[in-house]
Amino acid sequence: MTTELLQQVRIINPLTQTDRVGDVLIEDGYIRSINDKIKSSDIPDNTSIRECQSLILGPGLVDLYSHSGEPGFEERETLTSLLKAAAAGGFTRITVLPNTSPPIDNPAVVAKLQQLHKASQSNPLPLLNIWGAITRDVKGEKMTEFADLKAAGVVGFADGDALNNLALVRRSLEYLQPFRKPLAFWCCDRNISSDGVMREGANSIQWGLPGIPATAETSAIAALLEVVAATFTPTHIMRVSTARSVELIADAKSKGLPITASTTWMHLLLDTKAVKSYDNSLNIEPPLGNPEDMMALRRGVKQGIIDAIAIDHSPYTYEEKTVAFAQAPPGAIGLELALPLLWQLVETGELTALELWKALSTNPAECLKQSPSKIAAGEKAELTLFNPQQSWKVESKILHSLSSNTPWLGKELTGKVVGIWC
């Protein structure tokens, strides 16, 4: 039997909308007691006591979508390294996208990932959720066997890339409605985005890089919303990145459409001005927005229009990223960095601690139609302990991810996860 007492820790509980200081007693993986101060007579013998003043305890973080290198690209990331990076970043649940090699479009690949998870050497071991692919051919024109994937245990259905065949999108929404599984789409019109590598605007002209119009995203979102209105199938909109997209989603929600939405952590922190450095880790999909986009996304999270913040962890090797900006594969890692950097928005007052934690934990779980973790006596301990004052340097040798494609490499950060229970 193992028992731990966290004394005078700041407890952030989005489900009860409380932010308080108290003692938390954890015994054999369960929360035994929570109180302003637990009496010494109620503390079992051999309890490990930890002074937690200035530390923050919240529900375990949940990532809606990230990329696993395994199977197919183990030099970028193995499932074990992904899980270790997730745990180091405070994530107790991680959800992998289906664009592996082979893709997660049949039960055999699902079973393989489940076996790898079971055999993982990650300790602690976050829960693994798996997105099943919506399409199964290179052109994205044929639907997968949804029933077989559901039976294999996928959490829901998504594609790692944009789907521009609206007829197939509609058929997917109609077919999957009875499944009661999450269905997620990334909205991007590839014909409009063409060969662009950053958001179109004054900065794209100034930096001399091909621009991607905001309409590449907004036109695709508008089309998807029309299909959702016709089928009324609950749908999640991934990777929201423009101010106009936030408006479209707000309007759709006000009309009662069954939609949820997420943006990624980097889109809340950086805008096109950052691309001046030509750091290849800033080449991401969708591209970083213009300053007005970033501010609209922050407001969207605060107001609940944007339900969740995803990490979209996308590892690439040094060799893959060490090319010209426009030729670099889009994506950056983030599982170990997101919470410390997003906490800056709490420090500046743009988000409250409850708003940020909700968008990183309970809301993503609900988007996946899962029960969020609860901070209450008798509940399983699925928790994240965070030190907002601890400084550390982002270096390849201390990152658990096998890849280090991040614009924060070599920089000092303030804030670090110091423990999880899962």
Task: For the chain of 422 residues, list the mean pLDDT of each consecutive stretch of 10.
Answer: 93 97 97 95 92 97 97 97 98 97 96 97 95 81 94 95 92 94 96 96 96 98 97 97 98 98 98 97 98 98 98 98 96 98 98 98 98 96 98 98 98 98 94
Range 330-344 burial, b when 16+ CB lie within 10 A, else e: ebbbbbbbbbbbbbb
Assigned token pair, 387: 């030190």
Answer yes or no: is 385 within a domain. yes
Answer yes or no: is 243 within a domain. yes
Exactly one of 23, 105, 307, 312 is catalytic; which is it? 312
- Total count of domains within the chain: 2
Residue 240's CATH number: 3.20.20.140
Q: Are residues 43 and 121 in the same domain?
A: no
Question: Would you state the pLDDT for residue 160?
Answer: 82
Contacts for 230 with CB less than 8 Å, ≥ 6 apart? 170
Q: Are residues 187 and 44 in the same domain?
A: no
Q: Are residues 186 and 294 in the same domain?
A: yes
Q: Are residues 12 and 123 in the same domain?
A: no
Question: Would you state the pLDDT for residue 192?
Answer: 96
Question: Would you state the pLDDT for residue 141?
Answer: 78
Q: Are residues 73 and 21 in the same domain?
A: no
- The beta-strand segments (E) located in 311-360 are none
Q: Are residues 232 and 261 in the same domain?
A: yes
Question: Would you state the pLDDT for residue 131?
Answer: 98
Q: Are residues 172 and 193 in the same domain?
A: yes
Q: Are residues 160 and 49 in the same domain?
A: no
Range of the domain at 275: 59-367
Q: Are residues 340 and 310 in the same domain?
A: yes
Answer yes or no: is 403 within a domain. no
Q: Are residues 356 and 384 in the same domain?
A: no
Q: Are residues 316 and 218 in the same domain?
A: yes
Q: Are residues 20 and 98 in the same domain?
A: no
Q: Is position 312 annotated as part of the catalytic site? A: yes
Burial class of residue 413, CB neighbours in 10 A (0-12, 13-18, 19+):
middle
- The beta-strand segments (E) located in 265-373 are 308-310
